[in-house]
């Protein structure tokens, strides 16, 4: 059975004290919550809070991820954080190719591919984002766009390497807008992504790949999104900044 994953992407939010408070709230809430045994929580805080967040991690259902990584190994790259550094902090996951990084920091599919390579080399699991912007959806180009992102970003991997990948479908028009994809739109795209993976790596790899949905996911819509056969969880932005909402989503399976 594929893992159910609920990952919180805090983006550039929270000061140190606020981050500590939120982690405390999440842990307190978790104490009185029964999560499905197959559910994995991942919290992806800003870089400066990775270690603090790791201190809360129990290495089983509550894990820690970074939001970004350098595509280079080591050296004179001011401001960058390498996969080796994340490995040395025992960070398990890292988001790559988020639409905000693609839009504001010019992260191309080629850069995504190099970041994925760095992460795999250092034993981290990449959470690789894909998704179309509104104009592409309106022009019915969403499948073409996502196919290109997946093909150019990931299909250089061996089947064994691909086994480490988590895919996150985040339609850009749904991110932070309050406009969620319908369960049908999510299922349709997730099934399409799985079919691409099956075509390239075979059914077994495709059936084992967790594909998350992201974009205005909240406790009130998580259940109907997660009820779909190919939706294995969520990558949560705004709602991951409140313990009640984050845990509310995690219990929606
Ligand atoms: P929102 O949940 O705030 O729409 O953000 C989704 C997202 O970008 C997660 O990576």
| pLDDT for 201 | 98
| Average confidence (pLDDT) over 80-91 | 98
| Average confidence (pLDDT) over 238-244 | 98
Are 66 and 56 in contact by the 8 Å Cβ rule? The answer is no
| pLDDT for 60 | 73
Most ligand 1 atoms within 8 A of CB, residue of 104, 238, 246 to mutate: 238
pLDDT tens, residue by residue, 126-172: 999 999 999 999 999 999 999 999 999 999 999 999 999 999 999 99
Are 199 and 239 in contact by the 8 Å Cβ rule? The answer is no
Which residue's CA is minimally distant from atom 7 of ligand 1?
237
pLDDT tens, residue by residue, 29-85: 999 998 988 999 999 999 999 999 999 987 778 999 999 999 999 999 999 999 999
Euclidean distance between CA atoms 106 and 97, whole angstroms? 10
Please state, in angstroms and as integers, the Cα–Cα distance from residue 222 to each residue in 52, 67, 212, 248, following that order.
28, 22, 11, 9
Question: Does the active-site annotation cover 188?
Answer: no
| Annotated catalytic residue, options 98, 122, 132, 190 | 98
Indicate the pLDDT class of residue 1, thresholds 50, 70 and 90.
Answer: confident
Q: Is 235 in the pocket of ligand 1 (CB under 6 A)?
A: yes
Kind and range of the H or E run holding 96: strand 93-96
Q: Is 67 in the pocket of ligand 1 (CB under 6 A)?
A: no
| pLDDT for 61 | 82
Q: Is 71 in the pocket of ligand 1 (CB under 6 A)?
A: no
Indicate the pTM of the whole model: 0.98
| Average confidence (pLDDT) over 7-19 | 98
Which atom of ligand 1 lies nearest, measured to the CA of 217? 2
| pLDDT for 57 | 87
Side-chain-side CA neighbours of 10 within 13 Å: the count stands at 26
């Amino acid at each position: 059975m594929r893992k159910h994953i609920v990952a919180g992407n805090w983006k550039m939010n929270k000061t140190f004290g606020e981050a500590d408070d939120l982690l405390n709230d999440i842990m307190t809430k978790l104490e009185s919550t029964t999560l499905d045994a197959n559910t994995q929580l991942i919290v992806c805080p800003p870089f400066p809070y990775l270690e603090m967040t790791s201190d809360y991690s129990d290495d089983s259902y509550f894990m820690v991820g970074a939001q970004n990584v350098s595509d280079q190994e080591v050296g004179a790259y001011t401001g960058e954080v390498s996969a080796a550094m994340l490995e040395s902090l025992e960070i398990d996951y890292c988001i790559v190719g988020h639409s905000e990084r693609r839009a504001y920091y010019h992260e191309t599919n080629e850069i995504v591919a190099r970041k994925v390579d760095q992460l795999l080399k250092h034993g981290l699991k990449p959470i690789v984002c894909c998704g179309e912007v509104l104009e592409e959806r309106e022009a019915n180009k969403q499948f073409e766009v996502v196919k290109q992102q997946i093909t150019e970003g990931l299909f250089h991997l061996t089947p064994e390497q691909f086994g480490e990948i988590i895919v996150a479908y985040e339609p850009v028009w749904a991110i932070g807008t309050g406009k969620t994809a319908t369960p049908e739109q999510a299922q349709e795209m997730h099934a399409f992504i799985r079919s691409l993976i099956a075509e390239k790596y075979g059914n077994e790899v495709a059936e084992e790949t967790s594909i998350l949905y992201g974009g205005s996911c909240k406790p009130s819509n998580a259940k109907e999104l997660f009820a779909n056969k190919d939706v294995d969880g969520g990558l949560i932005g705004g709602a991951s900044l409140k313990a009640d909402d984050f845990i509310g989503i995690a219990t929606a399976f």
